[in-house]
Structure 1
């Protein structure tokens, strides 16, 4: 008997040694094909590029895969317990492969012929996910085992688990538990409930089969399996199990958790990063920090949208977006199903009118249910006839609304207001004038509706926004703010064309000799033309080019002085920044820095400043543009500049700015600044040939409404003001320092010469101050106040 036992032992030993030898030979054969698993020590998980505001608010995310890597220390124990109980309950005990699990799976296979038992450990899954395909072959399985053993020799158990939980695909393009928690529940992993944790832990077996969004029934069954394993292994109590089992499947798709709406700026930043890093920008986990502050960007969003909706409101109601029924009303279920398919365009929500009374209407609003729309939200909606004509003021709601109308509404305090998608569009862009950092940028009413970035791409005629640059060239050609120019009609005969050019002021009023300060502040067109003539078109073109405007395609004609050249709002605000910062041309930028997934700074912007005009010139133009806000006096006559609304709204003395409106009011501009912020607002139709039109007074809207023509001072300036109210709140009013080569003199406002008595203090570059005194009769007093709104 002993002899047979010895023989059996020796035979078993022989088989074991043969098996070891066979494994060794097999290892030597496939060793050249095995990957270098030491790369796992420096693995870079593919993570999307994310765009942030300067203060850390998420603006956008770009990349095919969603992955938010987190450390084991950041993972709640409940999450780890759920995965280990389901995927590998002996993970911390085995050497990378689980002989017990392998034996169990092999036994089931040999006795039943079915592969019902999994035998891959978490380490083996890491080996497969990082280095192997998912083909089901013996050689792949052998490679997986060898790689798993090697991984265990290089990494700690926590490091392996961390790689696994950050790598595994979990459906809906989410990779890793951090992304899955966000995609399915909109939460951080630490905020997941037990039921939600078990749901995510059940996904590795089949992310599509057990997906809680697309297959909630199968997902609930898989969740029950995970909870049962956690109960069996003692990780949860019976009461916890029962509570989680009773929890409904409530997962739904959550996009990237955008906390700041700035899509036009995000796309500019996206293109910048793509140009710098190529396609790797989508996988390196880049964090792109932009230059905008969230509060200023929100203010810019609201200012532009409110300004465009206000324009649309005063031009009349164009009718419902659709008519759903006329005779046979829809059921509530039909209405809600229809609304669910309609988009929302902040702040507008789709709604359906179900009943109309004399001065109110009943609506069903998407995701809000039934709402009463009061008269205050309806009474504006007189009929739109054309951009220049509106119908009579409403007397009752049924003149605008009917049951079955699909309409748009917007919140108005605690109530709702009838609205419509505006056909007009616009842009707002602001900079820090000293550096060129963009502090806010909005390229249109809604990015989803139209991705064309008007702030960066819309080249529109400059109108009177060009005048400060023409005047800047004139100051360097011997003129001063006190120089007198004749504000008189021009009639220029062109023998070549046989036509007479008769540029006019707007309004069509002429004041005779006028100081340059007043002429710029009141936007006198004929004065700009006379200055251009005296300065010379080539000099003016050089000045525009120095400020960053492309002069290659600008006709060298006198219409230059009236703003016939085109520029984008971004070019415009960059030009005005030189007046705000003391004469330097800055290069605007939206990306402050770019970091990789580890927080290493890969790129940081170095602001660029190039002097283009003297500090004295910049100061003098700023002074004249300040008069456009604050007004002034000439020969005892009080006059008001074209930007007077900005001074009234902001109640500050350090604002300078310029309105601008092109021929037929196709473009309305306002550009203005303080030493801390410079911003440009533009309004116009994307159809360049469509004028902004005009409106008649609406008796239903009270005394503070805007009526008449659509000009820079009435259409674009309010947008600029509403942004600046927020942008300047932390910047106290300040007095601009006077450059050293400027002197002051008391001048007679009627002649621009030295004053014999009372007058105003004017600034001059040394050597240009007047030497003669004005005659006493030029100081006569005139009564009255002149308030103007310019067209051009």
Structure 2
């Protein structure tokens, strides 16, 4: 008996030595093909690019894979226990491969013929995920074992587990537990319940078929297995198990947790990073910090959206999107299913009318349920006939609404209001005039509805927004703010065309000789043409070029003075920044800095500032544009500038601005500034040939409603003012800083000459002030000025 035991021992020893020899030989054979595992020490997980505001709010995320790396210390023990219980219960005990686990799996396979238990450890799975394919071959398994052993010799158990939990694919493009928690539940990992943690822990075996979005039934069955393993390994008690098992399999897809809505700006930052880093931008975990502050961007978005919806409201209701039933109403389930498939366009939500009373309606709103639409939210909706014509004021709700209609509604405080998707569009862009940093950019009503970025890409006729640039050239060539220019009709015969050109003021009123300050503030068209002719078209073209406008395709004609050239809102704001900052041209930029996933700064903006006009000229133009908002006096009578609504809204005197309206009101502009912010608002149809039209008074609305023509002062300016209310709230009103080379002199408003009696104080560059005093004969020669309230 002893002899047989000795022989058996020797045989076992021999087989063991053969096994060791075989493993050694096998190792030598595959060694040249094994990867350098040491790179795991400095592994950089592929993480998407994030675009953020200056104050760290997430604007957008770009990249095929969703991943949010999380340190092992920040992961809840409940989640870690769920993974270990299911994937590798002896993880902290084995050296990278688990002989006990392998033996257990082999016994199950031999006795049942089924592969019920996997034998791969978490370390082996990590080796496979980083270095190997998923092909099921003996040689791949051997390599996996050797790599796992090597990994265990280099990294601690916590480092291995951290890499695994941040690397593993968990379905719906989520990689790692941080991304999975957000994708399936819209939560941080620390917020997961036991049932949710068990659901995520069950995904590695089949992320595409076991996830709760694609296959809730199989996901629930897999969750039960995970919870059972946690109970067996004493990670949870029976009560916790029962509660988690009873929890519903509730999950839905959650996009990136956007906390600031600025999609047009995000796309600009995205393209900037892509140009700089190429396709690596999507995997390096870049944090792209833009130049916007979240409060200003939110204010700009709200201002533009409110302005466009306001235009749409006063032009009338175009009717329901669709009639869903005529006689047989849908039940609530049908309505909810239909609404769930409809998009939302903030702040508009799709809704279905279920009942209509005389002065109210009951509607079902997507993700809200049943609400009452009261008369105050309906009474605006007189019928749209054309852009310049509306129907009669509503008398009852049934004049606009019928049961079975799909409509749009928007919240108004605690109530709801009937709305519609606007056909009009617009843009708002604002800069820090000191360096060109874009502080707000909104490229249209809704990015999901139309991705065309009007702030950056829409080239529209400038209209009267061009006049400050023309006036600045005139001030550099012999004119002062007190110079008198004849505001009288022009009739220019063109022998080449055989016709005459008769530009007109708008309204068609002429005041005779008028000071340059007042002419710009009241936007006198014929005065602009005369100043252009006096200064010279080549000089004006050079001024536009110096300010950043493309003059190659601009006709060098008198129409330049009336704003025939085109520019984008971003170009317009950049041009006005020169007046706001004392004469410097800035280059606008949207990316402040770019950091990698470790916080290392890879790029930092270096703003470009170039002097292009004198500080004195910039100040003088600013003063005239301040008068465009606050008006002035001539011959003892007050006149309003075209931007008077801005003064009424902001109630501060350190602002300046200019309205702009093109022929037939196809484009409405307002550009304005103070030393801290410069902003341009534009409104128009994407169809260049469609005028903005006009509106009649709506008897159902109050006295404060806007009616009449759509101009820069009535359509674009309120958007600018609403934004500036927020943008300037942290900047106390300040006095204008007067350049040293300027002096003030009292002048006579009717002649522009020195005054011996009553007059107004005016700024002059030293040496350009009047040398003569006004006299009765001079006053009689120039005549008086009349008062008009020009909106153009």
**What band does the TM-score fall into relative to the shorter chain?**
over 0.9
1:649 equivalent in structure 2: 649
Give runs of aligned pairs for residues 502-541 of structure 1, distance below 5 A.
502-541=502-541
Residues 4 and 328 (structure 1), Cα distance of their counterparts in 2 relative to 1, 3 Å cut: closer
Shift of residue 699, structure 1, vs aligned partner:
1.1
Gapped regions of structure 2 (runs ≥ 5): none
1:410 equivalent in structure 2: 410
Give runs of aligned pairs for residues 68-147 of structure 1, distance below 5 A.
68-147=68-147
Shift of residue 66, structure 1, vs aligned partner:
0.5
Gapped regions of structure 1 (runs ≥ 5): none
776-785 or 627-636, larger mean C-alpha shift: 776-785
Give yes or no for contact 1:640–1:785 (8 Å, CA) kept in 2.
no
Give, in whole Å, the separation in 2 of the partners of 1:241 and 1:423: 55
Give, in whole Å, the separation in 2 of the partners of 1:158 and 1:143: 23
The question of 1:661 aligning with 2:661 is answered yes
Give yes or no for contact 1:637–1:783 (8 Å, CA) kept in 2.
no
257-266 or 364-373, larger mean C-alpha shift: 364-373
Give yes or no for contact 1:322–1:405 (8 Å, CA) kept in 2.
yes
User: Secondary structure of the equivalent of 1:786?
Assistant: coil
User: Secondary structure of the equivalent of 2:769?
Assistant: coil
Give, in whole Å, the separation in 2 of the partners of 1:285 and 1:334: 43
Shift of residue 109, structure 1, vs aligned partner:
2.8
Give yes or no for contact 2:714–2:791 (8 Å, CA) kept in 1.
no
Shift of residue 785, structure 1, vs aligned partner:
7.9
1:276 equivalent in structure 2: 276
Give, in whole Å, the separation in 2 of the partners of 1:782 and 1:420: 52
Give, in whole Å, the separation in 2 of the partners of 1:536 and 1:782: 28
Give runs of aligned pairs for residues 516-595 of structure 1, distance below 5 A.
516-595=516-595
315-324 or 663-672, larger mean C-alpha shift: 315-324
Give yes or no for contact 2:50–2:62 (8 Å, CA) kept in 1.
yes
Give yes or no for contact 2:361–2:374 (8 Å, CA) kept in 1.
yes
Give, in whole Å, the separation in 1 of the partners of 2:251 and 2:335: 25
Give yes or no for contact 2:514–2:785 (8 Å, CA) kept in 1.
no
1:193 equivalent in structure 2: 193
CA offsets per residue over residues 77-129 of structure 1, 9 Å max, x none?
11111111111111111110001111122223334433222110110011000
1:766 equivalent in structure 2: 766
Give yes or no for contact 1:636–1:782 (8 Å, CA) kept in 2.
no
Shift of residue 372, structure 1, vs aligned partner:
1.7
The question of 1:351 aligning with 2:351 is answered yes
Shift of residue 354, structure 1, vs aligned partner:
1.9
The question of 1:694 aligning with 2:694 is answered yes
Give yes or no for contact 1:749–1:779 (8 Å, CA) kept in 2.
no
Shift of residue 784, structure 1, vs aligned partner:
10
Give, in whole Å, the separation in 2 of the partners of 1:211 and 1:325: 37
Shift of residue 778, structure 1, vs aligned partner:
5.9
Give, in whole Å, the separation in 2 of the partners of 1:463 and 1:643: 15
The question of 1:450 aligning with 2:442 is answered no
The question of 1:321 aligning with 2:321 is answered yes
Shift of residue 485, structure 1, vs aligned partner:
0.3
1:243 equivalent in structure 2: 243
Give, in whole Å, the separation in 2 of the partners of 1:666 and 1:383: 22
1:789 equivalent in structure 2: 790
Give, in whole Å, the separation in 1 of the partners of 2:483 and 2:786: 22
Give runs of aligned pairs for residues 63-462 of structure 1, distance below 5 A.
63-462=63-462
User: Secondary structure of the equivalent of 2:613?
Assistant: coil
Give, in whole Å, the separation in 2 of the partners of 1:569 and 1:38: 53
Give, in whole Å, the separation in 2 of the partners of 1:178 and 1:782: 77
Shift of residue 280, structure 1, vs aligned partner:
0.7
Residues 616 and 783 (structure 1), Cα distance of their counterparts in 2 relative to 1, 3 Å cut: closer
User: Secondary structure of the equivalent of 1:319?
Assistant: coil
2:51 equivalent in structure 1: 51
Give, in whole Å, the separation in 1 of the partners of 2:336 and 2:196: 29
425-434 or 114-123, larger mean C-alpha shift: 114-123
Give yes or no for contact 2:750–2:785 (8 Å, CA) kept in 1.
no
Give, in whole Å, the separation in 2 of the partners of 1:779 and 1:574: 40
Give runs of aligned pairs for residues 5-20 of structure 1, distance below 5 A.
5-20=5-20
Give yes or no for contact 1:638–1:785 (8 Å, CA) kept in 2.
no
Give runs of aligned pairs for residues 622-641 of structure 1, distance below 5 A.
622-641=622-641
Give yes or no for contact 1:53–1:59 (8 Å, CA) kept in 2.
yes
CA offsets per residue over residues 429-478 of structure 1, 9 Å max, x none?
00000011111110000111100000000000000000000000001111
2:727 equivalent in structure 1: 727
TM-score, structure 2 length as denominator? Answer: 0.98
Give yes or no for contact 1:635–1:778 (8 Å, CA) kept in 2.
no
The question of 1:469 aligning with 2:472 is answered no
User: Secondary structure of the equivalent of 2:787?
Assistant: strand
Give yes or no for contact 2:55–2:293 (8 Å, CA) kept in 1.
yes
Give, in whole Å, the separation in 2 of the partners of 1:368 and 1:692: 34
Shift of residue 782, structure 1, vs aligned partner:
11
Shift of residue 229, structure 1, vs aligned partner:
1.3
Give, in whole Å, the separation in 2 of the partners of 1:787 and 1:332: 58
88-97 or 329-338, larger mean C-alpha shift: 329-338
CA offsets per residue over residues 293-347 of structure 1, 9 Å max, x none?
1111111111001000110111111111111222333233222222222111111
Shift of residue 789, structure 1, vs aligned partner:
2.8
Shift of residue 783, structure 1, vs aligned partner:
11
Give yes or no for contact 2:78–2:197 (8 Å, CA) kept in 1.
yes
CA offsets per residue over residues 589-610 of structure 1, 9 Å max, x none?
1111111111111111011101
User: Secondary structure of the equivalent of 1:455?
Assistant: helix
Give yes or no for contact 1:753–1:771 (8 Å, CA) kept in 2.
yes
TM-score, structure 1 length as denominator? Answer: 0.98
Give, in whole Å, the separation in 1 of the partners of 2:593 and 2:118: 47
Residues 11 and 326 (structure 1), Cα distance of their counterparts in 2 relative to 1, 3 Å cut: closer
